[in-house]
Chains A and B, each alone.
Chain A
Amino acid sequence: MSIAPPRFESVEIPEAATRSEDYLWTLNFGPQHPATHTTLRLVLKLEGERVVDALPEMGYLHSGFEKIGEHLTYNQYVTVTDRMNYISPMANNVAWHHAVETLLGIELTPRCKVIRTIIAELARISDHLLCNGAVGLDTGAFTFFLYAFYQREVIYDIFETLCGARFTNSYTRVGGLSQDMTPLVIEKIRSFVKTFPKTIDDMERLLTRNRIFVDRTKGVGVLSTEEAISRGATGPVARASGVTRDLRRDEPYLAYADYDFQICCAAAGDCYARYLVRMQEMRESLKIVAQAVENLPEGPINVGIDQRTALPTKQQVYSTIEGTISHFELSMSNRGFEVPCEESYAAIEAPNGELGFYLAGDGNETAYRARCRPPSVLHYALFPHLIRGHTLSDVVAVLGSLNIIAAELDR
């Protein structure tokens, strides 16, 4: 089958140019441009300053993560998920091992569930900080961006204390975690819970009623509820368009059913609504973190030795025969997990939307197929629909409000 040449979805030629397309000109935006943040490419059809149509291109960062997923073990692949949405790697770790544990049928320990909830929510806060900060930056609010980025640094610091890595954490393991949460981490999270509301108040005072920002974002890139569902939008993008879908409430995983929090929605569906939803979600996430960190259950973080997935503790290895056997078997290449010849899909509410993995097991310690369902792909596909009729300067506002991460987009 031959490959058809690229074509625009619907170029409506403006009336002034009905005789010829002379007034339309094509502008290439990206793949290297400060406002694309990563390697995205847009081909824009412009009439003067007005965008008539846009053709998004992707694949500049394609690194075959799904192919690699068929060759790395369930524990090794977590390092690759870090590099998908590198803005919130912890959420990706949690999503990957949530999917693996669904396939294997593992029930986590209560402490592990709560710790994973905490880190997933901290990851959400740091993702929303960057996204909203970048929207501010792209529309000219540089100070706002610095406020946001300073708090990201605090979250990095918490993660570093937790697992030794700031950026690519690879924190989760099948059936558990790589490290337990120490009192120092808990102390740092507590102080973050105390100090963060002040920053978020400052941020809202800076931008939410800022005339320039509101004019740049309100009514720009409007996505209706029907379009949001039909085009597969999830997460804050869908919730800003009035879709009340949040997997934390609708399919409670980890420990979310135990906490009191609100689902943030807006009806307008424009860039400003997406900004507001993200702002409010940070407050709700902070509520979850505060509740979780004060009610952290005692007990082990890994599932028991009998499950044969998480490494036993050194104490168990040295003093019990089951621990020794389990440790050896998990380290040997032809032993280890018992994976059913089955397939399952599991998703979490990642900061960007529904992040799921469709896994096919074939009895081996590597997945037969590890499909990642990235929210960014469907959000990037929305772009031409959102930008039609707006001006060139709105391109960055719309792009920023969709929070497209090229590494997750291209995988």
Chain B
Amino acid sequence: MPSTPPPVDDVLAALAEQFGDLPSSVFRGQTRVVVPESSSHEVLSLLKERGFDLLVDISCVDYLDYREPPMEMAACAGHRYGLVYLLASTVTNQRLTIRVFVDDPEPTVQSVVSLWKAANWLEREVWDLFGICFAGHPDLRRLVMPEEFTAHPLRKDYPLQGRGERHNFPVITRHES
């Protein structure tokens, strides 16, 4: 029958041992750890070894016009993009959220496709919609937007109504097909 998953304290301790003090907080029972971009791949591979075998999601938040520091943590203030790695364990059912902050002009993080194959399309989607480059990704193409598209539409400086890209879509007529 259902039992609450064990706390993730030992995992946090193991992270602190190897990477020093990483800022973390808990909200509604969810533990978030902020990891510097330079060591994100090492942290995630350590977490995978420690039992977080399921990569639930990779997404991103653009904090361009966010008034407060993200997640009310001073350590995250001033950054533009906050990547979200949602990890879970299929054995213990623990969950852990890893946040990695990156900035313009060339937001780049290490790809984690080598750790979880699920990251392949998730990273492509983040690249497509936010323009965050994943170094080491085997096939970094747009996922949902057409290939000719030049903008990254989920960035906050991209308007809801679009900028008339629709007129620039290539059209194949019956005559030339």
Contact = CB atoms under 8 A, between A and B. Distances in A.
A271 B139 CA distance: 28
A249 B72 contact: no
A381 B154 contact: no
Interface string A383-411: 00000000000000000000000000011
A366 B86 CA distance: 23
Contact of B53 (A229, A342, A378): A229
B141 A6 contact: yes
Given A71-B160, A257-B2, A377-B121, A62 B90 contact: no
Nearest to B53: A229
B57 interface: yes
Given A342-B71, A345-B86, A362-B67, A229 B160 contact: no
B46 interface: no
A358 interface: yes
Nearest to A381: B121
A251 B30 CA distance: 13
Contact of B160 (A68, A341, A377): A68
A378 B123 CA distance: 12
Contact of B68 (A66, A243, A362, A381): A362
Contacts of B86: 345, 356, 358, 373
A245 B118 CA distance: 17
Given A6-B141, A67-B160, A371-B59, A59 B117 contact: no
A341 B118 contact: no
Interface in A181-230: 227, 229-230
A382 B121 CA distance: 10
B129 to A, nearest CB: 8
Interface residues on B, range: 35 or more
Contacts of A378: 118, 121-122
Most buried by A among B54, B61, B143: B54
Contacts of B36: none
B174 interface: no
B19 interface: no
Contacts of A62: 144-145
Contacts, number: 130
B118 A232 contact: yes
A381 B120 contact: yes
A294 interface: no
Interface in A339-378: 340-345, 347, 354, 356, 358, 360, 362-363, 368-369, 371, 373, 377-378
A102 interface: yes
B160 A9 contact: no
Given A249-B2, A356-B56, A381-B121, A369 B116 contact: no
Given A245-B90, A369-B61, A381-B120, A341 B68 contact: yes
- The 3 A-B pairs with the shortest beta carbon distances in the complex, nearest first, are A232-B118, A59-B144, A371-B59
Given A9-B138, A230-B117, A363-B67, 16 more contacts: A3-B141, A3-B147, A58-B144, A70-B160, A229-B54, A231-B116, A232-B122, A341-B68, A341-B71, A342-B28, A345-B84, A360-B70, A362-B68, A377-B125, A380-B121, A410-B144
30 contacts: A1-B133, A3-B141, A4-B141, A6-B141, A58-B144, A59-B142, A62-B145, A66-B154, A102-B28, A230-B53, A231-B116, A232-B55, A232-B56, A232-B116, A249-B2, A251-B93, A341-B71, A342-B28, A343-B84, A344-B28, A345-B95, A347-B56, A354-B56, A360-B70, A362-B66, A363-B68, A371-B59, A377-B121, A377-B125, A410-B144
